[in-house]
Amino acid sequence: MISKEEILRRGFVDVKVFVSGLRQSHRLTVERERMAQGLVPFLVCKHYVPIPELLRLAEELQLPLKCRDVRVFPKGKMAGDFAEKVSPLIATAEADTVEAEVEEE
């Protein structure tokens, strides 16, 4: 079994899933999504995969999966458990200054 660190390093994983009674091979690619907790890596399905199969894969691979509008996490985990902390952009803004002189008459 391939480790989740190896999957994240390679950027993809090939899996076997059952769709409509047929065993299919799918390649899931790693895409990071910006969320409130940080960057969360999701394994993304290009083609339809039923929710029970997504749940099985999430448990096996211990990584979150996303297929169309469905996001699935391993049991007992949530986005914060997978978030890669990103440093906030440090920006300094200075007000524009205008120098003016009063002319005396």
Give the strand pairing for 38-44 and 65-67: parallel
Condensed to tens digits (0 to 9), the pLDDT of residues 75-91 reads 999 998 998 876 555 54
- 40: which 2 tokens? 């969360």
The total of other beta-carbon atoms located within 10 Å of residue 13's CB is 19
CA distance 87 to 102: 46
Q: Give the three-state DSSP class for 24.
A: strand
> Are the C-beta atoms of 64 and 84 separated by less than 8 Å?
no
CA distance 23 to 49: 11
Condensed to tens digits (0 to 9), the pLDDT of residues 16-25 reads 999 999 999 9
Q: What values do phi and psi take at 96, rounded to 5?
A: -65, 135
Residues 6 or more apart whose CB falls under 8 angstroms from that of 18 comprise 24, 50, 53
Decide if pLDDT at 50 tops 70: yes
pTM, entire model: 0.75
Condensed to tens digits (0 to 9), the pLDDT of residues 53-68 reads 999 999 999 999 999 8
Domain ranges of the chain: 4-82
